[in-house]
Structure 1
Amino acid sequence: MSNTSIHSSITEPRTQWLEVILLWIAGISAAMQFAKFSVSFDGLLEHYQMGATSTGAALSAVGIAGLVFGVSAGMIASRVGYLKVLVGALLLGGSLSLIQSTLPPFNLLFVTRMLEGFSQLGVVVAAPTLIAKLSAPQHKSLTMGIWGTFFGVAFAVCGWAGKSILDQYGLQALFLSHGVFITTMGVVLFFKLRKNPVLDLVPITEMQDGFFKQMMQIYRNPRALLPSCVFLFYTCTLVSVLTYIPGLIGDSTLQKLMMVVLPLISTGGTFLAGAIAQYLMRPQRVALMAYCGVASCAVVLSFISGSAEIFCAVVGVMVLFLGMVPGSALAMIPTLARSPSEQAQGYGLLAQFGNLGATVGPPTFATSIAVYGLPGLVVLVLCVCSFGVLFSLWAGRIKTVL
């Protein structure tokens, strides 16, 4: 009996927490490709004198690669190898940050930003696939919840440490420090994971059809499509809420406070969703609960007019529910996917839909708020939540793969 129990304990899969945390930090270093330009926006305006529109385009250029190549990145990663794609993406990101640290001409800077999109895309496709592979079944939702916080944490760290570096040493030091950080993560993960037996995955070659036929198969696969649809309506909403709602608050002190607090609340919601999906309910139900919570808060907002403090409290709860959506969507992918290849395709599609939502959402919300004010925001949020609820229910009908 004792030999049997020893054997089962040896063969039982376990979560490799150190490796999971290192991959999460790699995700943070990749998300800093967005955050470093956000925190240094005024400095870039002053240095390049290109105007807010051109500099803003350089900020958002990182998302172009994900918008266009999200699905194909998942296909490539499954064939080339996830660790190779991850390390290559991190080293590419480091090289581009080092080029940016020389403050090159604006046209070259813009090109480096577009190339950084491929670096960022490689990380967000490969890293969560590796995290899922390194996680025991009973921890996958939890580790996906941890992974889902990387974007908010990157902005928080850049707002703290990055702003300090920028104020004391300038733009060059900020970009140089990011280049060193992301390159270091690439080197560390290469040596830490290259001989890991759990990641000894044979590149996928079973799909021999044409490229576009493969892409259509991915779009038609509900196991990849539905988590991405759930995620799409989150990205439509959160960036807009974080950008425009502080402007609806009459108190300037509360405005500044909410600009700092809301991203942290969102990050907390993402981690909370992973924990709930792990221990209490399926990720699809967490997404459903989150969208219902967002819709309820939006309705409450429409009845609040006098108190700025109550308005901020309700917005905080709404952002907490919004933050739960990516945690649940990320947890859905390893829950529903039948293979690492299908997982990578799901993360690629998630990246593509996420960039689509971040592109379409802000101008739509800006127009609605400009024309109708707070009621315009509330109605648009309710419409988005309706679609979120629909796709969460649909995803809940898919049989879970254990």
Structure 2
Amino acid sequence: MSTAAAEKTAWLEIGLLWFAGISAAMQFAKFSVSYNELLAYYQAGPTWTGASISVVGTIGLVFGVTAGLIASKIGYRKVLIGALMLGTALSFIQSFLPSFEIIMATRILEGFSQLGVVVAAPTMIAKLSAPQHRSITMGLWGTFFGVAFALTGLFGKPLIAAYQLNGLYLTHGLLMGVMAVALIFLLDADEQRYHTGSTSNSEPYFKKLGKIYRTPQTLLPGLVFVFYTCTLVSLLTYIPNFIASDSLRATMQVVLPLLSTAGTFIAGALSQYLMKPQRVAQMAYAGLAFGAFMLFMGFTTPITFCFVVGQMVLFAGLIPGAALAMIPRLARDSNEQANGYGLIAQLGNLGATIGPPSFATLITAYGLHGLIGLVWFICLMGSLFAYLAVRLEH
């Protein structure tokens, strides 16, 4: 690839890679939005039906780092298109509404599809971005999960009402298929375009795995990110229960995810033009801690409570944009980038797994003060790792 090409941002390809990420995140969102219908159709009970939503994430929890190594070896373009094709086939199978056992098997396999996309796509976006746009494009990428839930929430229920579960899953399969075909034609078939540095894979697997966890360039962005996933899912789940007004509660359930998505994109712009992404992460954790302090001081009338919580979620939303922007800034080649994204996938799923039950336990024991205390602890730890990431560039 020429130097001139490297200085240009391939906006069309980046836009399609972002949509590919959205289609992959919809693998979570489509079962979330159709939870009640799945419960009624399969009669599998709340526990197993809930597991059908979360089981996709367990693959990232177990294989996140491994996926980065595999993508580096096989090629990011091949992994991405293969993951999209696998997701297409699985959605088509689900559209026939087979037995619940088969549904669960497809959900586990969808975890591999989702992981392939979230490891390969951001690595390719970083390579297709000129240096002056890289933090912006990584901020855009960071919004894919929130956008997927917003779009699925907007269109999912009408699709189910018109065409039942079959229509929702078939539509998702078609979307992933269209993404795969479009990227086959638009992405450069030369895998070297998406690599920098050595592509040697002579090291033993477990030695490489250990090196990833010991390398600050790959580890620190993931550690900044894990405390975000601990917090945001829990805030979106439990905070509305503290809002006394039914109408305000319903409004905030729509507004809070949008504020989080806006924060992620804002983080990309801040990281590009005003400050290092590590500083953005420090600012985000400070803003989140300040919001918790406002709640501790008793700003809990319905309107002020909603404003404070909105501010907390906005600042929390800055964190993934900052963490994702850190990876191409700190990584020394595309292999480290892919490993960084794999580790973020793994630690992100860890945070999403341990966060909600931790918050639920403390809220049950101490009410709102339990939530505030855990938010402060999370902000302290997240700020510490963001500070270490700042030091890494000195």
TM bucket normalised to smaller? over 0.9
Give the alignment of 1:3-402 within 5 angstroms.
10=4, 13-195=7-189, 199=193, 201=195, 205-304=199-298, 306-399=300-393
Aligned AA for 1:273? A
Aligned-residue offset at 1:212: 1.1
1:3 maps to none
Q: Quick one: percent identity of the two aligned structures?
A: 59
- Structure 1 residues 32 and 11: alpha-carbon distance in aligned structure 2, compared to 1, 3 A threshold: closer
Aligned-residue offset at 1:12: 6.2
Aligned-residue offset at 1:307: 1.4
Aligned-residue offset at 1:181: 0.3
**Separation of aligned partners in 1, 2:4 and 2:239:** 52
**Separation of aligned partners in 1, 2:316 and 2:373:** 16
Q: Is residue 78–residue 204 contact of structure 1 (8 Å, CA) maintained in 2?
A: no
- Structure 1 residues 37 and 25: alpha-carbon distance in aligned structure 2, compared to 1, 3 A threshold: same
Secondary structure (helix, strand or coil) at the match of 1:86 reads helix
**Separation of aligned partners in 2, 1:237 and 1:73:** 25
State the Cα deviation string for residues 249-297 of structure 1 (Å, max 9, x = none).
Answer: 1111111111111000000000000000000000000000000000000
Aligned AA for 2:365? V
RMSD: 1.6
- Structure 1 residues 177 and 63: alpha-carbon distance in aligned structure 2, compared to 1, 3 A threshold: same
**Separation of aligned partners in 1, 2:331 and 2:197:** 17
Q: Is residue 80–residue 203 contact of structure 1 (8 Å, CA) maintained in 2?
A: no
**Separation of aligned partners in 1, 2:65 and 2:189:** 28
Aligned-residue offset at 1:183: 1.1
Aligned-residue offset at 1:201: 4.0
**Structure 2: unaligned runs, 5 residues or longer:** none
Aligned AA for 1:105? S
Secondary structure (helix, strand or coil) at the match of 1:338 reads coil
Aligned AA for 1:57? A
Aligned AA for 2:87? G
Q: Is residue 94–residue 169 contact of structure 2 (8 Å, CA) maintained in 1?
A: yes
Aligned-residue offset at 1:304: 2.5
- Structure 1 residues 382 and 43: alpha-carbon distance in aligned structure 2, compared to 1, 3 A threshold: same
**Separation of aligned partners in 1, 2:165 and 2:28:** 15
Secondary structure (helix, strand or coil) at the match of 1:397 reads helix
**Separation of aligned partners in 2, 1:377 and 1:64:** 25
> Number of residue pairs matched?
393
**Separation of aligned partners in 2, 1:10 and 1:206:** 27
Secondary structure (helix, strand or coil) at the match of 2:392 reads coil
Aligned-residue offset at 1:204: 5.7
State the Cα deviation string for residues 306-345 of structure 1 (Å, max 9, x = none).
Answer: 5100000000000000000000000000000010111000
Secondary structure (helix, strand or coil) at the match of 1:271 reads helix
Aligned-residue offset at 1:179: 0.3
Aligned-residue offset at 1:11: 5.7
1:4 maps to none
**Separation of aligned partners in 2, 1:204 and 1:65:** 28
**Separation of aligned partners in 2, 1:351 and 1:306:** 35
**Separation of aligned partners in 2, 1:332 and 1:200:** 18
Aligned AA for 1:137? P
The farther-off stretch of 12-21 and 303-312 is 303-312
Aligned AA for 1:317? Q
The farther-off stretch of 201-210 and 314-323 is 201-210
Aligned AA for 2:334? P
Secondary structure (helix, strand or coil) at the match of 2:118 reads helix
Aligned-residue offset at 1:9: 9.4
Secondary structure (helix, strand or coil) at the match of 1:14 reads coil
Q: Is residue 81–residue 203 contact of structure 1 (8 Å, CA) maintained in 2?
A: no
1:5 maps to none
State the Cα deviation string for residues 105-144 of structure 1 (Å, max 9, x = none).
Answer: 0011001001000000000000000000000011110000
Aligned-residue offset at 1:213: 1.1
